Amino acid sequence: MSNMNLWEILSHVVNLAVAYVLALPIGWNREREERSAGIRTFPLVAMAACGFVLVAIGVLGAASPGQARILEGLMVGVGFIGGGAILKHGTQAVGTATAASLWATGALGAAVGYGLYDIAVILSAVTYVTLRYLAPLKDAAHEKSPKEDRRENP
């Protein structure tokens, strides 16, 4: 095995590990919130998306127009996985934040695969912060104000 191959293997291992680690906080949040996807799913989605990109680069070449098809397939495939997280209860749809965060995690993994670490870190941070710190705002938006209570109970 030549040094070039060893370096390439090490590079792939590092990329896959970075994708995995960047998705962990998102998965941890979903796990703590007892959502349908969590600590196992998110890192696996990120790592798989990264892996598909790395394989595509290895087979097609980094500058190939075929890379667009790889990204399209990833977007659709991860969207399909996210669709499984959405459930309908009466007039309510639940799981949309989990589905959206799965999609963002797929993009995170693809970004790592293409070496766009800045984008991956931003996606990880913004997704985590949105899930963790905007939940109270969502809850506050759904609380009834005293005026609404008076209208319902004349």
Can you say whether residue 115 is alpha, beta or left, with left for phi > 0 and alpha for psi between -120 and 50 degrees?
A: left
Give the pLDDT mean for 97-101: 92
Q: For the chain, how many structural domains are there in total?
A: 1
pLDDT digit string, tens, across residues 103-128: 999 999 999 999 999 999 999 999 99
Q: How confident is the model at residue 152 (pLDDT cuts 50, 70, 90)?
A: low
pTM of the model: 0.84
- pLDDT for 128 equals 96
- pLDDT for 66 equals 92
Which residues touch 103 (CB under 8 Å, ≥6 apart)? 75, 78, 79, 82
- pLDDT for 1 equals 54
Query: 35 near 98, Cβ under 8 Å?
Result: yes
pLDDT digit string, tens, across residues 58-96: 999 989 999 999 999 999 999 998 888 888 888 888 888
Domain range for 77 is 3-152
More reliable by pLDDT, 36 or 40: 40
Long-range own/partner contacts, residues 69-77 (CB < 8 A, 24 or more apart)? 71/110, 74/49, 74/106, 74/110, 75/103, 75/106, 77/106
- pLDDT for 3 equals 63
Question: In whole angstroms, what is the distance from residue 49 CA to residue 71 CA?
Answer: 9
Query: 104 near 123, Cβ under 8 Å?
Result: yes
For the chain, the average pLDDT equals 89
Tell whether the model's pLDDT for residue 35 goes beyond 60: yes
- pLDDT for 114 equals 97
